[in-house]
Amino acid sequence: MNNIQKALENGQSIWLDSISRDMLRSGGLQRFVDLGVTGVTSNPSIFDKAIADSDIYDESLKEYAKDGADRQTIFERLAVDDIRDAADVLRPVYDNASKCDGYVSIEVSPTLAADTTGTVTEARRLWTAIDRPNVMIKVPGTPEGVPAIKTLISEGINVNVTLLFSLDAYTAAANAYIEGLSEFVKAARGMPAAVASVASFFVSRVDSSVDKALPEGHELRGKIGIANAKIAYARFNEIFDRRLGGGGSFFPLHTTGAQVQRPLWASTGVKSTEYSDTMYVDGLMGPDTVDTVPEATMSAFNDHGSPGSDLTTGLDEAIAQINALADAGISLDSITDNLLIAGVAAFADSYESLLGRIEDKLKSLSN
């Protein structure tokens, strides 16, 4: 087995953090699936790059602009096509995994991060338009996003909670899933096992911010991202404890066949040359998790990564590292708060760039 397949055997699903129409039509996504990849995530910057780097979208752009649709509508039509096709490629994975894997994620507009009602409305529209059971709608884990997550899960709409940086935000996302799923079960809206969610906890961005605040050569540099994730994973195991009498709030749902909301490690591409290019993938390997990985990082992991389990060890050390950071006068809460604000802004900027790209393309195609 290759390392991607070994990771899956050890309980972690590797998802590709990339999608393009060229990848779909050339069989590139199928080749990743053949390697052992079991899911795909997307965001505006990924679509922006795909449209910029290829003319494969040109005919669809012209077709979808004929009725005078605005830029947002044109993008949504393009994205729905690609997400639906990717879901079809991954459908055998979904079926073989009994609905526990094989998902493709699409994001609601980042401009709605502070709009609960708008998020729910757009998520419902995307879910209906794509019409595939193995799709997840990405909703930011902002204070306004949390009630939207609960509502969508209660309606049986799969959710990928994104932009999680802090333990409190992760806990809120997990509880929203459980509350939403409890409503779904109480209302008898369908099979609980068919509802899925992941909680996307960002990693490398934490290290990038912490490292800037630490002096050169400090022992905590490059340590806090993984430590923060390990503590979140420990919280996951507390909340989703499936043992009778284990104390977790998920147990009653577990008896209905419901899925846990798996932690998904996001932002796992290494941004500093000081560290191993597989540091985050290697360090966050463990049961009941997902890692969404850029192509370059995936190639590196498959070539020389370590697919053993690291998440289930070193919790005490992780807690000590977080405490040492506070002793050094650095507030991790302030850093994660700022990262959420910056993350929402960056996604919104990427979305606006994408819409501008579509507008420019349409102008060039009309000449």
Quote the CA–CA distance of 204 and 281 in Å, as a whole number: 11
Report the DSSP beta bridge partners of residue 15.
39, 292
**What 3-state class would DSSP assign to 106?**
strand
Cβ distance 5 to 37 under 8 Å?
A: no
Question: Which of 129, 262, 100, 258 lies closest to 189, judged by CA?
Answer: 258
Q: Does the CA dihedral 123-125-127-129 come out positive or negative?
A: negative
Give the tokens for residue 208. Answer: 């990038």
Report the DSSP beta bridge partners of residue 335.
none
Cβ distance 82 to 25 under 8 Å?
A: no
Could you confirm whether 186 is annotated as catalytic?
A: no
Name the E strands within the chain.
12-16, 39-40, 103-107, 135-140, 159-164, 197-202, 262-266, 289-293
Question: Annotated catalytic residue: which of 6, 66, 99, 138?
Answer: 138
Quote the CA–CA distance of 254 and 177 in Å, as a whole number: 13
Q: Give the position of tokens 């099979």.
A: 191
Give the tokens for residue 281. Answer: 């993938």
Torsion of CA 24, 345, 289, 220, to 10 degrees: 130
Q: Which residues are catalytic?
A: 138
